[in-house]
Structure formats: C-alpha cells, structure tokens
Structure 1
Amino acid sequence: MAQIKPCEPSELYNLLNRRGSRLAEINYLCLMDARETQDYRISHIITAKNAKTDSEGLFLLPEALEVDSMQHVVVYDSNTSSLQEESRAVLCARVLSGVSLSPVLVVIGGFQRFSALYHFLRTEKIMYTITELENLKQYPVEILSGLLYVGDEKQSADCSVLREMKISIIIALSQESLKGNQTVVNLPVDDSVDSDLYSSFERICDLIASHISSGSRVLIVSPRGRSRCSAVTIAFLMQHKKYTLQEAWSYVLRRKPDMRPNSGFLQQLSDWELHLTGGKVTDISKL
C-alpha cells in the first residue's frame, strides 16, 4: 500500500506545468476530484477526473486509468486541511493507495485554496484529446510561492501568462533583449561554459530580494528556461535562504526536474558557495 502524503497547492501547480507537455503522457499524472459530481461539473482543476462512488458512498477506482502505472497520483476535495480528517479526499486517497506504486498526495486546502491561488487553472472542460493536452498553456515553474518563478522566453512574451500570474518584473538572461509592459532587466549572457554569471550573482540576487521583500512577483527567464535561469535561481536561494549549493540544487530540482545549468555555471555556483560560506561544502561531481 502506497503512502498518503500532504501536498501543497504549489506542488500540484508545478506538476501541471512540467515542460514538454507531460500531461499528454498517459502515465504521468492521475488527478482526482473527490468532491460531489455537481461541484465538479461547475468547475474543477484542469485535467482532473471526478472520483466515482458506489451506492453506499464508497469511492471506486477510476475505470479509465491504470493507477498502478502512474508517476504521480493526486487527490483533492473542497477544503481538506489535514490527513487526520475523515474527508472525501482522504477517503478517496486510501482507495487509490491500495493499488498505487507512487505516494498518493492530498492537496491541503483543496479546491478552494488551489483555485484562489491559481484561478487560471480552473475549468469546466471534462474530456481532452491528446492534441489538446499537448497544446495546453504552460506557466512558469513556481520556486517561492507567490513570489519567484522560472520560465522560458516564450512564457515571458505571453501577455496573458504575465497578467494571470501578476508578474511585476522579468529578469532575462539572454543575448537578445526582451521588452514588455512589465519591468524587464536584461542581462546579456550566453549559455556557454565560458560565460561569466558569477560577477553578476550579487547584483541579481539583491535585485530579486528587493522585489520579493515588497511582495512583487519576479520571473527569471532564459531562452529555453533550463540553464542560465536555473543557475541564477540556485544562486539566489543560496544567498536568500542560506542554503548550501547541494540544498539549493535539490530544492530547484524538485520543482523543475528539467533544469540543466552547464558545467561552467556549476563551477561558478561552487565559487559562490565559497564566497557565501567561506568553504566549498558541496561536491559538485555528485550533482
């Protein structure tokens, strides 16, 4: 029997916005809405399936999904706040945990909390084609809830994404200068092992900190959203959260599994760790 674990709304948000249209993969995500059917039909989280019950009100396994093959299994109801509750989400999770090989996650705060934070991921749509799933809008990954996001240049150029997410400032790491209605800070740098990010770490980290301290939402982008923006995000967490390189690396990797800072940036992050802590705590050969 799989474990049942709590899940913050931001974790589900990031699962729904993995790069490469992961939602189109049949074994990627099993997202179950354990609310009453009439509530589900009014509005639900995008791609969620309504959990069915039998005549006695006991939850049934979903017919069209092979739960045991799913990489991620997530359940929500209206507002479950604890796994100790005998709520609809917890009861549904227990049934799913009997066949799942992955932990079953229960969204804390349920639909009410998730939809308050990410209203743009609510829908009435029930059925999707593979093409529709492949073309769903993808939003930047959330690093610090309601404050710091990481994405690519396509997302930074989408006015609807920036408006829905209430992004105030964009930090763009690219040779091409970006423009937009938001404040844009352009840092021209190549994704090359010889490129120098280190000399800009302190200035960028201070800039990010000054904005999030006032509640502004910051989006860090690079052309593909994998190397440069990930390196800067890790550097910021090392300074702002006092993380080691290993801790910051693991923190970002959990939220953005496709991050790939190049080897030159990795060495500069190791030098940044030395600058911040007075020693090189992390063995970068193991990252």
Structure 2
Amino acid sequence: MAGFLLCEPTTLYNILNQETKHSRLAETNYLYLLDVRTKREYDESHIITAQRMKQKGGEYVVPESMDLECVKYCIVYDGITNSLEVNFELEERESIENSDEEEDNVVMGAAIEGAKVLAEHTRYPVYILNGGYERFSACYHFFRTQKIFSMPQELDAFQPYPIEIVPGQVYLGTSWQASNSQMHKHLKVKAHVNVCLETTPFFEGDKKKLLHIGVTDSPEEDLFSHFRHASHFMDAHVNLGSVVLVFSTLGISRSCTVILAYLMHRNRESLKRSWTHVQNCKNNIRPNRGFVEQLVEWEKVIHGAAVTDISDPHY
C-alpha cells in the first residue's frame, strides 16, 4: 500500500500548470484530484478538475471510472486538514442501502480517511492538500469552479499559468503568459524580467518594472554578464512585496537560466540544489549547454569554486 505525503498549495498549483505542447491535465494517468467535502460544499465551489469522492455506508469509495494504479499524482483534499497526525472520528451515521448522498457530517481529517482508501489502489504516494480547500482557494481563487465535468478537449485547451518558483513572489513563464492580462491580474504581477527578443504590452519603457535581456537561445549568447543585475532587480522588487515574472519564448531555457542564477544568489546555494528546486516546480526545464556552463561560472562567483558536476547527464 502506498503511503501519504502532504502537498503544499503551491505544489498543486504547479501540478495543474504543467505543459508539454499542451496542458498535461488531458493526460489519462497524470492527475486525479479528489474532493472529500460534502456535496453541498463541492457543488458550491471546488478546485478545477476535482471530482467528488463519495461515501457508501459511511466509508469513502473510489469512483468507478478511475484506474488509480499508474496515476502519477493522486491528491485528496477536504476543507482544512493541515497535518498527517490529525486525530478524528467520523460521526456515526445510519447506513442507507445504495445511497451515498448523506454526507453532511464530514469533519476535519476526512482527507486522511479518503487517502487511506486511495492508497490501497495506487503504487505511488497519495498526497493530502495541506490546509485543504480553504487554504488553496485563498491563494488561488481563480482556480475555483462549479464545473463538475470537463471534456478531454477542454482539458487539452486549458491555458496553464506561469509556474510558481518562490510562492507569492517569483514566477517562471512564457512570452504568451507574459502578455496575458488576466494572468497578470490574478497573480498580481508588478515587474517583468524578459529574457527573449519579443516584447509584451506590459511595463514597456518603464525601467523600474521591466528588465529586458534581449538574447537568443544560443549557447554562444552571454547571459552570465546579466546574472548580477537581474538578481538585484528581482531582489529589489521582492523586498518591496512585488511579484516578478521571469519569462522567455517557451520558458524552458533562457528564463530558466536566469531563475537558476537568481535562486543561487538569493539562497547562496549550489547550482545542483537550485536545479532540483526548479525542476520540481517545472518538469521540462532545458537550459542550453552554454547557459549551464555559465551557471557554473556563476557558482564560482558565489562559492569561490565550482560545486556542481555538470558532466552528469542530468544537466
């Protein structure tokens, strides 16, 4: 039986926003998100793509349409559960034959009860959303919905938001996302670091809010000489409480490189540690080889010597 892990709201946000050519939400074995709150609460509002996990005879049951064995992310949430150590008792209720609608007594810890059932059907750990629906919806109100079912083509057409690298402070995205006014409003973006040749309609001509590093995605391009200025630019905005969006055309090479350089500077950490963090946030990062070598040079500036072995195929 698989175990349990807590899933932070930012982790679920990033899982919802992964993409290859299209949103990964359309992939059959990518994500099952299950809501164990009452039917009334679910119908009122739930997290996008979530299905309601029902009960029979006072026990949670896996939806018949689900084959959980190979699902990469199986995440369950209730209203407020924020610990794996919650002690709880589900109130006793009469068992009603063939009925699963009498569920108005769901209490704190219900997510753990649901996770126990799910863990019997999957080879991967089951995640419990830390803080439940209340905490997630407070951070990402724009991912609430009343829609109960989405067609595969709707999921395929879902437009992912920028990836959250530092919660509530730094995001990593594409030039398309950087041009989307709704995403800017929802994420409260106040500054851009543009690491591509394209321009966007936001902050044009405002050097206090826009740092434009106009380079191509070529191993011969020099990003190293911009690392210090970009890091200080981002520091200044983060210290003011402003949200910064770092982006390039596809958000996988140039902007990833600048994000890595910033994290190494901010946390005084190795390239390896920063790389692991960014890759956990965004599955498809691919800085080109020249940029990886420049990040090692940046590592020397920060630590006095190279720490990360980039001959590892991981890089």
Q: TM-score, normalised by structure 1?
A: 0.98
- For 1:107, the equivalent position in structure 2 comes to 129
Report the Cα offset of residue 179 of structure 1. Answer: 3.0
Is 1:15 the equivalent of 2:41? no
- For 2:165, the equivalent position in structure 1 comes to 143
- For 1:179, the equivalent position in structure 2 comes to 201
Is 1:201 the equivalent of 2:227? yes
Cα separation, 2, equivalents of 1:18 and 1:91: 28
Cα separation, 1, equivalents of 2:249 and 2:114: 41
- For 1:233, the equivalent position in structure 2 comes to 259
1:44 to 22, 43, 46: 46
- CA 181–273 in structure 1, closer or farther in 2 if over 3 Å, else same: closer
- For 2:94, the equivalent position in structure 1 comes to none
The answer to whether the 8 A contact 1:178-1:186 is kept is no
Amino acid at match of 2:122: S
Report the Cα offset of residue 81 of structure 1. Answer: 1.3
Cα separation, 1, equivalents of 2:199 and 2:38: 49
Instruction: Give the paired residue count.
Output: 286
Amino acid at match of 1:50: R
Report the Cα offset of residue 90 of structure 1. Answer: 0.5
The answer to whether the 8 A contact 2:211-2:230 is kept is no
Cα separation, 1, equivalents of 2:200 and 2:215: 13
- For 2:147, the equivalent position in structure 1 comes to 125
The answer to whether the 8 A contact 1:178-1:184 is kept is no
Amino acid at match of 2:64: E
Cα separation, 2, equivalents of 1:77 and 1:226: 34
Alignment of 1:22-61 (within 5 A): 22-55=24-57, 57-61=58-62
Report the Cα offset of residue 177 of structure 1. Answer: 2.9
Cα separation, 2, equivalents of 1:271 and 1:91: 50
1:265 to 285, 291, 305: 291
Amino acid at match of 2:184: L
Cα separation, 2, equivalents of 1:63 and 1:176: 48
- For 1:276, the equivalent position in structure 2 comes to 302
What SS class does the counterpart of residue 258 from structure 2 fall into?
helix
Report the Cα offset of residue 215 of structure 1. Answer: 1.1
Cα separation, 1, equivalents of 2:306 and 2:281: 24
The answer to whether the 8 A contact 2:197-2:215 is kept is yes
Cα separation, 2, equivalents of 1:179 and 1:186: 13
Cα separation, 1, equivalents of 2:240 and 2:36: 37
Moved more, 8-17 or 184-193: 184-193
The answer to whether the 8 A contact 1:191-1:228 is kept is yes
Report the Cα offset of residue 184 of structure 1. Answer: 2.7
Name whichever structure is richer in helix by fraction. Answer: 1
What SS class does the counterpart of residue 265 from structure 2 fall into?
helix
What SS class does the counterpart of residue 31 from structure 1 fall into?
strand
The answer to whether the 8 A contact 2:35-2:76 is kept is yes
Cα separation, 2, equivalents of 1:104 and 1:273: 36
- For 2:102, the equivalent position in structure 1 comes to none
Is 1:214 the equivalent of 2:240? yes
What SS class does the counterpart of residue 67 from structure 1 fall into?
coil
Report the Cα offset of residue 181 of structure 1. Answer: 5.1
List per-residue Cα deviations over 1:52-99 (Å, max 9, x = no partner): 1002x1110121111112011101100001111131101001110111
The answer to whether the 8 A contact 2:264-2:270 is kept is yes
Cα separation, 2, equivalents of 1:238 and 1:184: 21
Amino acid at match of 2:54: K
Cα separation, 2, equivalents of 1:176 and 1:119: 30
Amino acid at match of 2:235: A
- For 1:5, the equivalent position in structure 2 comes to 5
What SS class does the counterpart of residue 235 from structure 2 fall into?
helix
Report the Cα offset of residue 186 of structure 1. Answer: 1.3
Report the Cα offset of residue 175 of structure 1. Answer: 1.6
Identity of aligned residues (%): 38
Superposition misfits of 4+ residues, deviation over 4 angstroms: none
Report the Cα offset of residue 211 of structure 1. Answer: 0.6
Q: TM-score, normalised by structure 2?
A: 0.89
Cα separation, 2, equivalents of 1:226 and 1:80: 34
What residue ranges of structure 1 are gaps of 5+ in the alignment?
none
What residue ranges of structure 2 are gaps of 5+ in the alignment?
89-108
